[in-house]
Structure 1
Amino acid sequence: VRTDHEVTNLPEAREKLMKGMQVLIREGSVCKDLHALAPIITERNSPFIAFCTDDRNPLDIAEEGHLDFLIRTAIGLGAPPLAAYRAATISAARIFGLRDRGLVAPGWRADLAVIDDLEHCAVSMVLAAGRVVDDALFSSRGPLPAVGRESVKARHVEARDFGARGQGPSTQAIGVIPGKIITDRVPVTLPFRNGERQVDLDQDVVKVSVVARHGVNDNMATAFVKGFGMKRGAIASSVGHDSHNLCVVGTNEADMAAAINRLHEIEGGFAVAEGGKIIAELPLPVAGLMSLQSFEKVRETLIPLRTAAKGLGVTLAEPFLQVAFLPLPVIPHLKLTDMGLVDVDRFEFVRD
């Protein structure tokens, strides 16, 4: 392990730099660590750091930018421009073994960005391998054959499949932290009827379920999550790091079932359900992770999708990628897989 894009605070970043690791400063749509880590972006450190846009969606890229956004934000936070640009170029290239790019020099690959304003990273022209990147260059590429189709093999689910059986009203809920993929472990006492725990909107506690999607088994697990602000309906995703099973967060079982079943029909993606109906969706049929549409079309579709989620009461800035990290059982402290709730600190399943 030579790089780390999961660093979230300065002491951790400094320790890893001291121990010879390269730190990738991440600013995605959910994980936003740039403000916390900006002090390490110095001319002394910049050979050992790079920027990272892990899980930055097309809507944020269109509205704010990509690496250009990280560069100008870092400079605005006090990073020396030389340090910021070095981290974004030659340092990143060297960290990943790309020995032919990252500098403007004879014999190097001419992947270049022409900048009008260094502090604001105002890009006026981009060249790839010496070619100006414009509409004509894009049109010359031609279509690529689709791969990874029909990868969502999850079974059809019913509302009754989302019951949360337990030994009593007390349990642990996954506590969402806005802007982080680290979660809290939140003790909650929930309504308890007929051996099953129920959602409690007054506590902002709703259900979360993970459904196996690869056709190997029919595993499914249900737990509770706090922090979405959801008042009705359900949202579901086939993007669920790292196993990419289906994950749904919802206030009621019928909408959760509708959202999961719709993901199967559209070969994966994001779906919003309310009143038993799908009110917004974004198909991602390439392995359940990528669209066949253009960047611009995906951006357009994300706008009503996010609006629909907000209409359910969701208060998170990027709810769908927040859902995508709930099944990631290597990030503390509490996560959910298709086999059950996981205490990540102990690497044990929670049995209650």
Structure 2
Amino acid sequence: PLVSDTTYKRCFFVVDDRTCSDLLREGDIDAVVRKAVSRGLDPVRAIQMATINAAEYFRLHDRGAIAPGYMANLITINDLAKVEIDMVFYRGKLVAREGKPLFSLPPVAPELTHTVHIKPLTAKSLSLPAKRGNLGEETYPVIEIIPGQIVTKKAAEKVGIVDGVVMPDIERDILKLVVVERHKASGNIGLGLVKGFGLKKGALASSVAHDSHNIIVVGTNDLDILKAIEEVDSLQGGLVVCAGRKVLASLPLPIAGLLSPEPLEVVVSQHENVEEAAATLGNLPPAPFSILSFLALPVIPELRLTDLGLVDAVEFKLIK
């Protein structure tokens, strides 16, 4: 095994991009500790890998242990094997007990709200121009989703051209992908195609789009894509499901377009609603909004879309 008597001091746990549902029902690093213990790792070693090992790696020499001179960030545990957390202390102050916070959140700073700024759009703004010709077919680069992975494949597919515009092909699961710059209203719009999303109608939009967090949308038609973008703008950030020019569900994220001020339980309910609504639009992969959020991250191979256009993440260049 990777974690052994000789290696456990040099191992620590990591999590990334856990959903709000994961956090509510399973936890964060504590969920990984529980999983490790359930698979046979000594609980004390598992906790060490979640605390002081990580602190030492990042040279955080005043935390990760209970000792003189260390920051009093502590938890108490009812059951070591199950890692049942009873109390949480931050800087020596009791801040949570039995899963309930004992503190109030401060007001949201005004500069963290109203952060979505886009230029006015029309459906024509979303047209993907053909490279040549007004009718027929041409070969176009396509972002191909790999099931269960955040890496993508750089594919080339023949697509239909109508009036000089590249058309999605729903039967072949080739859909329109759009990234709209939303921080400075620059008007930048990236347009491309994605395969493997499974939408049969409508559009999904999100202002969570790693790492620039512009608005990213996947859809079967420009009118629903436009409606989804307009709704994200109206909400000042969030996740949106549209079909037939109607908003079917949304999760507002008005804090920097990334966070909700609502309690976790409310956010989980809203998140489940948008995922359930999305599932009615086709045969979508699990966690479709998570997949969508990574399609704009231009450092992960092979092909991505930013507000500047398609990026070959292997050769680190824009595809003209």
Provide TM-score, normalisation by structure 1: 0.81
Q: For 2:37, what is the secondary structure of its paired residue?
A: helix
Unaligned runs of 5+ in 2: 132-136
Higher deviation after alignment, 89-98 or 228-237: 89-98
Work out whether residues 282 and 301 of structure 1, in 8 Å CA contact, stay in contact via their aligned partners in 2: yes
Q: Does 1:344 align with 2:313?
A: yes
Distance 1:165 1:58, change over 3 A: same
Partner of 2:67: 105
CA distance in 1, matches of 2:116, 2:51: 37
Question: Which residues in structure 2 correspond to 1:6-21 (within 5 Å)?
Answer: none
Change (3 A) 1:136 1:214: closer
Identical aligned residues as a percent = 38
| Counterpart among 219, 223, 228 of residue 254 in structure 1 | 223
Displacement, 1:265? Answer: 1.1
The amino acid across from 2:111 in the alignment is V
Q: What are the Cα deviations for residues 274-298 of structure 1, in whole angstroms up to 9, with x where unaligned? A: 1101111111112111112222221
Aligned to 1:202: 171
Aligned partner of 1:137 in structure 2 is: 102
Which residue is 1:264 aligned to? Answer: 233
Q: Deviations over 1:192-240 (max 9, x none)?
A: 3222222222222211111111225211121111122111110111111
| Separation (CA, whole Å) in 2 of partners of 1:346 and 1:234 | 30
Superposition deviation, residue 82 in structure 1: 4.1
1:89 Cα deviation after fit: 0.6
The amino acid across from 2:125 in the alignment is D
The residue number in structure 2 matching 1:313 is 282
Contact conserved, 2:207 with 2:258, CA < 8 A, in 1? yes
Other-structure match for 1:276: 245
Q: Which amino acid aligns with 1:349?
A: L
Change (3 A) 1:54 1:213: same
Report if the CA contact (8 A) 1:42-1:80 is conserved. Answer: no
**2:15 is equivalent to residue 53 of structure 1:** yes
* Cα distance in structure 2, aligned partners of 1:173 and 1:77: 41
2:141 pairs with 167, 172, 175, which one? 172
Q: Distance in 2 between matches of 1:80 and 1:177?
A: 35
Task: Describe the shift of the 1:314–1:152 C-alpha distance in structure 2 as closer, same or farther (beyond 3 A).
Answer: farther
Compare 95-104 and 79-88 and name the one that shifted more: 79-88
Runs of 4+ in 1 over 4 A off after TM superposition: 77-80
Corresponding position of 2:193: 224
Is the 8 Å Cα contact of residues 159 and 253 (structure 1) preserved in structure 2? yes
User: Which of 115, 121, 126 in structure 2 is aligned with 1:157?
Assistant: 121
Q: Which residue does 2:158 correspond to in 1?
A: 189
Q: Deviations over 1:3-38 (max 9, x none)?
A: xxxxxxxxxxxxxxxxxxxxxxxxxxxxxxxxxxxx
Instruction: Report how many aligned residue pairs link the two structures.
Output: 312
1:169/1:64 Cα in 2 relative to 1: closer, same or farther (>3 Å)? farther
Alignment root-mean-square deviation, CA: 2.2
Report if the CA contact (8 A) 1:41-1:84 is conserved. no
Give the Cα separation in 1 of the matches to 2:283 and 2:6.
Answer: 42
Structure 2 counterpart of 1:224, which letter? Answer: L
State the 1:117 CA deviation.
Answer: 3.5
CA distance in 2, matches of 1:183, 1:136: 40
Q: Which runs of 5 or more structure 1 residues have no equivalent in the other structure?
A: 1-38
1:96 & 1:314 partners in 2: Cα distance?
Answer: 42
- Return the alpha-carbon distance in structure 2 between the equivalents of residues 59 and 314 of structure 1: 21
**Partners of 2:305 and 2:186 in 1: how far apart?**
17
- Give distance in 2, aligned partners of 1:243 and 1:327: 8
C-alpha contact (below 8 Å) 2:224/2:245 kept by paired residues: yes
Q: Which amino acid aligns with 2:272?
A: I
